[in-house]
């Protein structure tokens, strides 16, 4: 058997400190290739697929789906292909105790070739300023009367030189030359049907069962497994989801009586979901923004009938036949043009340096509602794009965000944001600034409403805009001018020709 290697959770960018394991693409015993996708994780910014830094055979998975792991913590062990057998004992011991120089000390430096010829290619494999926290490991040797050390095969040397097989372990599993891995021996196995300790973070259940429980909203910690060794089965989860609870204990012999249905406690009708991932990051960002930047919100109601007519004409234009030009795309283009005339809305407040930072580029943030929560990916250099290019970029960006595939680098360094609350049938709102930005525009629903045109009340397409801005950077005059400029271009797209 060859040496074992640790795969620590890498920092996938932007200084993230932890991530949640979403699902494994492999299982122990599977053969994997270099850079094969093996696990999907969720950071505070996006869902990310991680490739394997080794080719070889998966030895053990050290983290369960749904578990939050700190960066630098080993998440699996692997037996690399082609590793030398004569160094097995020394290097495996290093991997078990966390002293493997490739993982503990250096983490496999980027671009540096290791002893087995591997070149680390994953983000976060450079030197770390602090040592990574590791899950504690227990000794794999079985306990028995008299104790004593055992060799790599789980046998205790006798005084006459003949190896003696160690007695059975405390969980009833015999220890011999083909003993299970140390981590497996140390894992406690409760008796079937035993009550679980409240707050147990890792109940015994296979990954598919964990996913089913998550989809059905069942807390595995509240169940007693009916499977062998107390393992929670699919039937246990489905029974709990249907209101049946865990399997009922058998009635003692000779017991009689009529079953009564007790009223359900309030806690049984509530569901508690851990605050983590995107929701946790969004909440912290919104609190920081709300209590740091003094928000001011202004509103404007406009007739966007000309914009809608302009959109219909674009559909017939040869250059736009294969492009979906949405009202959001037109509003986004108007924002980029208006920001050139009022650069304060595209600036940021640097309190530490005592400076206002003006930017000659627009990284447009687009708020997108996803199953994982609110995310705000950015269109880089949106001001340099034509309307067609911007429409294509917005469609790709929002589609990727809803699928949870936005890369971390697309989630940072925005300069101004637009949020389309109109897709939910909402007229307007008072949006909260993204940290580091000075303005955000809420684009409301477009409705047919009565409107006065040349002294006559006629039906028109009407929309409401709401601009929130940081009053430290943007004065009322500047915010009002920017909002009025955006409104004028949506009321009359030809006004865009007057913005250089």
Condensed to tens digits (0 to 9), the pLDDT of residues 56-91 reads 999 999 999 988 888 889 999 999 887 544 444 444
Q: Give the HSE-up count for residue 256: Cα atoms under 13 Å, Cβ half-sphere.
A: 1
Q: Note whether 24 and 36 are within 8 A (CB).
A: no
At 494, the pLDDT band (50, 70, 90 cuts) reads very high
Residue 245 has pLDDT above 60, yes or no: no
Token readout for 426 is 């909402």
With a CB cutoff of 8 Å and minimum separation 6, the contacts of 169 are 142, 143, 175, 185
pLDDT digits (tens, 9 = 90+) for 389-420: 999 999 998 888 888 778 777 888 899 999 99
Element (H, E) at 483: helix 476-491
Backbone angles phi, psi at 42, to 5 degrees: -120, 120
CATH domain 189-244 topology: Dihydrolipoamide Transferase (4.10.320)
Q: How many CB atoms lie within 10 A of CB 237?
A: 22
User: pLDDT by residue (tens digit) across 89-106?
Assistant: 444 444 444 444 344 333
pLDDT level of residue 112 (50, 70, 90 thresholds): very low
User: For strand 31-32 and strand 56-61, is the pairing parallel, antiparallel, or unpaired?
Assistant: antiparallel
| Helices first, then strands: H and E counts in the chain | 9, 20
Residue 179 gets which letter from DSSP?
P
Distance CA 268, CA 434 (A): 37
What is residue 469's three-state secondary structure? strand
- Residue % of the chain over a pLDDT of 90: 40
CB contact set of 219 (below 8 Å; sequence gap of 6+): 213, 272
As a whole number of Å, the end-to-end CA separation of the chain is 70
More confident residue, 238 or 457: 457
Q: Specify burial of residue 353 (Cβ count, 10 A radius: 0-12, 13-18, 19+).
A: exposed
Residue that is written with structure tokens 């030197």 in the block? 127
Q: Pick the closest to residue 65 from 200, 190, 214 (CA basis).
A: 214
The pTM score is 0.54
Closest CA to 41 of 62, 66, 21: 21
Question: Which pairs from 15-19 meet CB under 8 Å and 24+ separation?
Answer: 16/43, 16/44, 16/45, 16/71, 16/408, 17/70, 17/71, 18/43, 18/68, 18/69, 18/70, 18/71, 19/43, 19/48, 19/68, 19/69, 19/71
468 φ, ψ (degrees, to nearest 5): -100, 135
Instruction: State how far the Cα of 365 lies from the Cα of 384, in Å rounded to an integer.
Output: 15
- Residue 202: the pLDDT is 53
| pLDDT: which is higher, 232 or 161 | 232
- CB burial class (10 A; 0-12, 13-18, 19+) of residue 255? exposed
- In this structure, the dihedral spanned by the alpha carbons of residues 149, 150, 152 and 155, taken in order and rounded to 10 degrees, is 170
- Given this model, what pLDDT does residue 500 score? 66
Distant-in-sequence, close-in-space partners of 266: CB < 8 Å, separation ≥ 6? none
β-strand partners of 76: 7, 61
| pLDDT at 295 (0 to 100) | 93
Segments making up each domain of the chain, as ranges: 5-105, 189-244, 278-498
Q: How many CB atoms lie under 10 A from the CB of residue 308?
A: 16
User: Could you say which of 3.40.50.150, 3.40.50.300, 3.30.559.10, 3.40.630.30 is the CATH number of the domain covering 278-498?
Assistant: 3.30.559.10
d(CA 69, CA 9): 8
More confident residue, 286 or 103: 286
Q: Which of 144, 113, 150, 121 is nearest to 52 (CA)?
A: 121
CA dist 487 and 465 (Å) reads 8
Structure-block tokens of residue 448: 């047919």
Strands 416-419 and 364-370, sheet pairing: parallel
The 3-state DSSP class for residue 443 equals strand
Instruction: Read off the DSSP letter of residue 119.
Output: B
Residue 216 has pLDDT above 80, yes or no: yes
* CATH node for 5-105: 2.40.50.100
CA distance 15 to 230: 39
Given the residues 295, 317, 363, 471, the one annotated as active site:
471
Could you give the dihedral angle defined by the CA atoms of residues 392, 49, 420 and 323, in that order, rounded to the nearest 10 degrees? 20
Integer CA distances (angstroms), 333 to 8, 67, 148, 388, in order: 43, 42, 75, 10
Instruction: Give the number of residues written for the chain.
Output: 500
The pLDDT of residue 445: 97
What is the C-alpha to C-alpha distance for residues 85 and 106, in angstroms, rounded to an integer? 23
Which residue shows structure tokens 């790709």? 396
pLDDT bin (cut points 50, 70, 90) of residue 454 is: very high
pLDDT band at 244 (very low <50, low <70, confident <90, very high): low
Active site residue 295: no
**Which residues have CB under 8 Å from 426's CB, separation 6+?**
444, 445
């Amino acid at each position: 058997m060859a040496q074992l290697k640790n795969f620590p959770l890498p920092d996938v960018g932007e200084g993230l400190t932890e991530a949640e394991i979403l699902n494994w693409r492999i299982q122990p015993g599977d053969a994997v290739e270099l850079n094969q996708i093996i696990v999907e994780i969720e950071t505070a910014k996006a869902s990310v697929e991680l490739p394997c830094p080794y080719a070889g055979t998966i030895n053990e998975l050290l983290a369960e789906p749904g578990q939050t792991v700190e960066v630098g913590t080993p998440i699996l062990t692997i037996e690399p292909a082609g590793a030398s057998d004569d160094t097995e004992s020394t290097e495996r011991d290093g991997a078990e105790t966390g002293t493997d120089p490739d993982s503990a000390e250096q983490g496999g430096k980027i671009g540096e070739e290791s002893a087995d010829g591997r070149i680390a290619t994953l983000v976060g494999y450079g030197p770390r300023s602090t040592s990574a926290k590791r899950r504690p490991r227990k000794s794999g040797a079985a306990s028995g009367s008299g104790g004593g050390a055992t060799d790599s095969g789980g046998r205790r040397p006798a005084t006459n030189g003949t190896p003696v097989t160690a007695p059975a372990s405390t969980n009833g599993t015999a220890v011999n030359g083909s003993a299970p891995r140390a981590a497996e021996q140390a894992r406690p196995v409760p008796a079937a049907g035993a009550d679980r300790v409240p707050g147990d973070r890792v109940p015994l259940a296979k990954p598919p069962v964990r996913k089913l429980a998550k989809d059905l909203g069942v807390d595995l910690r509240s169940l007693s497994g009916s499977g062998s060794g107390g393992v929670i089965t699919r039937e246990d989860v489905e029974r709990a989801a249907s209101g049946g609870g865990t399997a009922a204990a058998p009635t003692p012999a000779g017991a009689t009586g009529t079953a009564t249905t007790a009223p359900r406690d309030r806690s049984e009708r509530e569901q508690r979901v851990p605050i983590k991932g995107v929701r946790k990051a969004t909440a912290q960002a919104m609190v920081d923004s709300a209590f740091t930047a003094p928000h001011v919100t202004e509103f404007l109601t406009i007739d966007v009938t000309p914009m809608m007519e302009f959109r219909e004409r674009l559909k017939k234009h040869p250059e736009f036949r294969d492009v979906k030009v949405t009202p959001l795309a037109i509003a986004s283009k108007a924002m980029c043009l208006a920001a050139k005339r009022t650069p304060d809305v595209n600036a940021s407040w640097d309190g530490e340096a005592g400076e206002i930072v003006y930017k000659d580029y627009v990284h447009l943030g687009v708020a997108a509602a996803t199953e994982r929560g609110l995310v705000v990916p950015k269109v880089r250099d949106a001001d340099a794009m034509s309307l067609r290019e911007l429409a294509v970029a917005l469609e790709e960006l929002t589609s990727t965000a809803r699928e949870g595939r936005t890369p971390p680098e697309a989630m940072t360094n925005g300069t101004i944001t637009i949020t389309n609350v109109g897709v939910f049938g909402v007229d307007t709102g008072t949006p909260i600034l993204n940290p580091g930005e000075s303005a955000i525009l809420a684009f409301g629903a477009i409705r047919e409403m009565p409107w006065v045109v040349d002294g006559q009340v006629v039906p028109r397409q009407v929309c409401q805009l709401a601009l929130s801005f940081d009053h430290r950077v943007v004065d009322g005059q500047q915010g009002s001018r920017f909002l009025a400029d955006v409104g004028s271009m949506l009321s009359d797209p030809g006004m865009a020709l007057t913005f250089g």
